[in-house]
Structure 1
Amino acid sequence: MFHFKNALLLLGLTLSVGSFAESLPTTDGNLRIGANASFNQYAYHQDDKVTVMPQAFYDNNRVYIKGAEAGVYGYKDASNEWRMTVGYDSREFRPDDSTVANLKGLDERKWSVMVGSSYMKITPYGGFRIHAKTDALGRSDGTTVKLAHLSRFKLMDNQLTIYPELGVQWNNKDYNQYYYGISQQESARTGVTAYQADSSINPYANVSASYAFNPKWSGFVSQSLEYLSDEQKNSPMVDNRLDSKTIIGFNYHF
């Protein structure tokens, strides 16, 4: 069967091969390697989670690595960016960590890898981006689409850079059913009411800040908030409206 993710992959490969000649020239790029600690407060009925992960940042106008996402440029100039992307979706539900007894009998909802394509128009008023992604591991077979506005502010003689992002995210029903739905089998086994989730649209905000201590070392902090829609909030798995993620880390510049 021809899946939506195959269409995105084909589109990305076509853009990558066909448009490189018109892109900005390749640069040496600046490789940064570091680590981060993430404090995840999911809206689920479950304990908060702390994770520590390595990370890398690199961009030479052809390929890029940006934390939990990597990819290739199909096209890039001073005001347009088209990317083929592969990224990590950290959303997960671990029944053993649930704070509600009946929910401990549910199936686990696992993190996944998302493949997709994004386009950003860069203007004097910031960047406007659309990013479509679909599950590459077949866990949810779900698809998400983000529409966002991004900005960048440099302060303190360019030592401090702040990146605000505001947007909305659409999740299709397959994505929501996997992460928020309750199947009839789970309901019969646990006594939790069965729940069929539909597609949803929910707003989100993210603010990141990077500070250069010296030419070799920098630190950063990021705070993201996602406001759940009724389709997500009404799930028996969910405790409140907000997903929150706080990340603190450092990078070494080569």
Structure 2
Amino acid sequence: MIIKKNLLIAAALFSTSSAMADEFSLGAGAVFNESPYKGYNENTSAVPLISYEGDHFYVRQTAAGWIVWKDSKNEISLTAAWMPLHFDPDDNDDHAMKQLDERKASVFLGGAYYRHEHWGSLKFAVGADAMDESGGVVGELSYFHPLRMERLTLTPSVGVFYYDESFNDYYYGVSGSESRRSGLNEYAAGDSWSPYIGLSAKYQLTQSLFVNASAVYTVLPDDVKNSPMVDRDDSFVLMTGMSWRF
């Protein structure tokens, strides 16, 4: 099963639609993802949908946070997020890609700041690789604005992710030994900014049952798309599912 970093963005969009204090929801869904790596076809995978919003703690799919300060417009939290991006050469169909080393998923620890206004919300976040797989640092600046109707909530969003040199080189670089084994050119990736746009939807079927959907389109930066491991200029992910609010 291949789950790429866009899943992290799409999952986060599910949690931006009308979160309330002490709200817990659990469900299941499916994600369709176009991998940027060569040798991977489009993948559809089952995923759990988990969300909890409390006064001091939250779980927003692949991220958890401890709120250290909050008022009507601001929220500062310490965060732990699962970065599902990984590469398994055994799952790849390309002969050269099968000769490369595995890239593993990791946990990133950091912090997040939200600013809520009538025109929408801003998010600033940063995290560092706590498992030292890449040793990298990632950051995010994003804007989202829930549009609430009677049963439907639409949340358009736009943002940019920052990935430092260590992160990109681990996931997209090709070492000298890998180059000799695979025939791919040796490649060292630098840091990058990756913009994205997204849209999520939540529709209330009953008092407790919801249908969820989100789509995210990402433009791959030069330091990623110039990698010999990559054969795309962009990436797309679609997630759908159902959840039950307790």
Q: TM-score range by the shorter chain?
A: 0.7 to 0.9
Match of 1:11 in 2: none
Q: Identify the match of residue 23 of structure 2 among 26, 30, 34.
A: 30
Match of 2:61 in 1: 67
Match of 1:137 in 2: 131
> Does the alignment pair 1:162 with 2:154?
yes
Counterpart mapping for 1:1-254 below 5 A: 29-45=22-38, 46-155=40-149, 157=150, 159-254=151-246
Letter in 2 for 1:34: G
Offset at 1:51?
2.1
Offset at 1:56?
1.7
Offset at 1:50?
2.2
- Report the identity percentage: 31
Rg: which structure is higher?
1
In structure 2, stretches of 5+ residues that fail to align are: 1-19
Query: Is the contact between residue 21 and residue 55 of structure 2 (CA under 8 Å) also seen in structure 1?
Result: no
Task: State the alpha-carbon separation in 2 of the partners of residues 251 and 154 from structure 1.
Answer: 18
Secondary structure of 2:114's partner? Answer: strand
**Aligned residue pair count:** 226
Offset at 1:96?
2.9
Offset at 1:28?
6.3
Offset at 1:118?
0.7
Instruction: Please report the TM-score for the alignment, with normalisation by the length of structure 1.
Output: 0.85
Cα deviation code 1:148-206 (max 9, x no counterpart): 11111012x1x101111101111100000011100111111211111000001121112
Letter in 1 for 2:90: D
RMSD (CA atoms): 1.4
Offset at 1:228?
0.7
Task: State the alpha-carbon separation in 1 of the partners of residues 80 and 204 from structure 2.
Answer: 28
Task: State the alpha-carbon separation in 2 of the partners of residues 84 and 223 from structure 1.
Answer: 27
Task: State the alpha-carbon separation in 2 of the partners of residues 36 and 115 from structure 1.
Answer: 26
Match of 1:5 in 2: none
Secondary structure of 2:169's partner? Answer: helix
Instruction: Please report the TM-score for the alignment, with normalisation by the length of structure 2.
Output: 0.88
Secondary structure of 1:114's partner? Answer: strand
Of structures 1 and 2, the one with the larger relative CO (CA 8 A, separation 6+) is 2
Offset at 1:135?
1.4
